[in-house]
C-alpha cells in the first residue's frame, strides 16, 4: 500500500503500535514506573529524535533505495549548528539551524546525484559519502570533540514543552503530518511508489525519475540534519559519532512500520509506530541492563524477520 492511499491503515501499519502497547503493558509488570506519565513523556521526547530522521529514511526507502549517510549528516549538522551558535555572535547564532538544514539538503542532493545520474547503487554511494563526511569532520576537529554549544532555540526544541507535551514530539508530529499531506496531495507521493515498484516503467511513462530521486534524498538529508540539531540541543553540544547509534534503529523503525525495503509500499504512519516500538524496546532493554552488543543483535534479527515477511507477502500478492 502506498503512502498516499486514503484507505484505513492496514495490518502492517497497525502492528508496531500494537507491539508498543504490549511492551508497555508487559514491561509494567516488572517495572511499574513504565506506566508513569513522566516516563512515557520522556520516551516520546527521545522517540522524536529517531522519528524525525526516520521520516526522511521512509521517503528514500519507498524509492527502493537506502541512505547510509545518515550518521554523519546527523553528526555534521550537529557540529555545524553548535559551532555557529557557540561563537556568541547573534547573527551566526541565528544562522545555526538554517545552516545545518542547508548542509543536510546539500548532502542529500549529492546522494541523489550519485544514485540518479551516476547510477551507482545507493548503498555504496551513500556509504562512501558517509565515510567522506567522517573524514572531513576528523580533519576539522583533529579527532577531538568539536567546540561549541547549542543555542537557546535548539535547547527549547529538544528539551522544552508545549502545554505539557515535549516540544520535540510536537515538532515531529507536525512535520510528519505536513510530509504525509505533501505525499498524499501531490504527484510526488505517487511517483515515489511507482519508482519503487518499477523505475524503468515510471520513466517511460513520462515521469522525470531523476528529479524525484534528487528530491527524495534532499528530504532525507533535511530530516537527518534536523535530527542532528535536536540531538545537539538535547546534549547542549555535538560530539564525535553522535549519529552512529541512529543508522540501524532508523532502518529498523521504517521496516517494522511496514515500508517495504524493496520499495513501492509504505506509510509514514507506520514509521511512527515503528519508531515508538524501537524506542520502547531500547528503553526496556536498557532497564533490563542488556548490553549494546545484544541490542544490535536484536535490531538485526528484527530487520531480517521483517524482510522475510515482506518478501513472502510481496510474492503472494
Local confidence pLDDT in tens for the 317 residues of the chain: 444 444 556 777 888 898 889 889 988 888 888 888 889 999 999 999 999 999 999 999 999 999 999 999 999 999 999 999 999 899 999 999 999 999 999 999 999 999 999 999 999 999 999 999 999 998 887 777 788 999 999 999 999 999 989 999 999 999 999 999 999 999 999 999 999 999 999 999 999 999 999 999 999 999 999 999 999 999 999 988 899 999 989 998 998 898 988 888 889 999 999 999 999 988 888 887 888 888 778 877 877 877 777 667 667 66
Question: Looking at the domain assignment, is residue 2 inside a domain?
Answer: no
| Residue 165 β-bridge partners | 162
- The domain tally of the chain equals 1
pLDDT score for 144: 75
Residue 60 lies in a domain: yes
Residue 213 sits in a domain whose CATH number is 1.10.3470
Question: What pLDDT sits at residue 214?
Answer: 98
Q: What is the pLDDT of residue 6?
A: 46
The Cα angle at residue 47 between residues 300 and 286, in degrees rounded to 5: 60
Is 88 contained in some domain?
yes
Domain membership of residue 241 (yes or no) is yes
Whether residue 135 lies inside any domain: the answer is yes
Q: How far from the centroid of its chain's Cα atoms is residue 119's Cα?
A: 24
Answer yes or no: is 110 within a domain: yes
- What does residue 166 show for φ and ψ, rounded to 5 degrees? -55, 130
What is the reported pLDDT for 1? 41
pLDDT at position 247: 93
Rounded to whole angstroms, the Cα distance separating 182 from 176 reads 10
Domain-located, residue 4: no
Range of the domain at 167: 11-316
Q: Do the domain assignments include residue 271?
A: yes
What is the C-alpha separation between 208 and 247, in angstroms, rounded? Answer: 29
Amino acid at each position: 500500500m502506498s503512502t498516499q492511499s486514503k484507505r484505513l491503515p492496514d495490518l502492517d501499519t497497525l502492528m508496531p503500535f500494537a507491539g508498543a502497547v504490549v511492551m508497555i503493558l508487559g514491561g509494567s509488570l516488572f517495572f511499574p514506573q513504565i506506566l508513569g506519565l513522566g516516563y512515557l513523556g520522556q520516551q516520546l521526547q527521545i522517540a522524536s529524535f529517531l522519528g524525525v530522521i526516520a521520516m526522511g529514511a521512509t521517503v528514500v526507502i519507498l524509492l527502493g533505495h537506502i541512505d547510509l549517510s545518515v550518521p554523519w549528516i546527523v553528526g555534521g549538522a550537529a557540529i555545524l549548528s553548535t559551532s555557529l551558535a557557540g561563537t556568541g555572535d547573534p547573527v551566526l547564532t541565528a544562522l545555526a539551524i538554517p545552516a545545518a538544514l542547508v548542509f543536510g539538503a546539500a548532502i542529500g542532493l549529492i546522494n541523489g546525484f550519485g544514485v540518479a545520474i551516476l547510477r551507482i547503487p545507493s548503498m555504496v554511494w551513500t556509504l562512501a559519502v558517509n565515510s567522506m563526511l567522517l573524514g572531513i569532520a576528523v580533519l576539522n576537529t583533529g579527532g577531538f570533540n568539536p567546540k561549541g554549544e547549542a543555542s537557546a532555540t535548539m535547547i527549547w526544541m529538544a528539551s522544552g514543552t508545549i502545554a505539557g507535551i515535549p516540544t520535540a514530539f510536537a515538532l515531529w508530529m507536525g512535520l510528519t503530518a505536513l510530509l504525509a499531506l505533501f505525499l498524499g496531495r501531490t504527484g510526488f507521493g505517487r511517483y515515489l511508489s511507482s519508482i519503487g515498484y518499477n523505475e524503468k516503467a515510471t520513466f517511460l511513462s513520462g515521469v522525470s525519475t531523476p528529479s524525484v530521486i534528487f528530491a527524495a534524498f534532499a528530504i532525507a538529508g533535511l530530516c537527518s540534519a534536523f535530527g542532528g540539531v535536536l540531538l545537539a540541543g538535547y546534549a547542549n553540544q555535538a560530539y564525535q559519532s553522535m549519529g552512529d547509534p541512529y543508522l540501524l534503529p532508523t532502518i529498523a523503525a521504517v521496516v517494522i512500520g511496514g515500508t517495504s525495503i524493496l520499495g513501492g509500499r509504505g506509510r509514514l504512519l507506520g514509521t511512527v509506530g515503528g519508531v515508538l516500538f524501537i524506542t520502547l524496546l531500547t528503553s526496556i532493554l536498557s532497564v533490563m541492563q542488556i548490553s549494546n552488543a545484544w541490542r544490535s543483535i536484536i535490531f538485526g534479527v528484527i530487520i531480517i524477520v521483517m524482510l522475510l515477511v515482506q518478501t513472502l507477502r510481496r510474492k503472494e500478492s
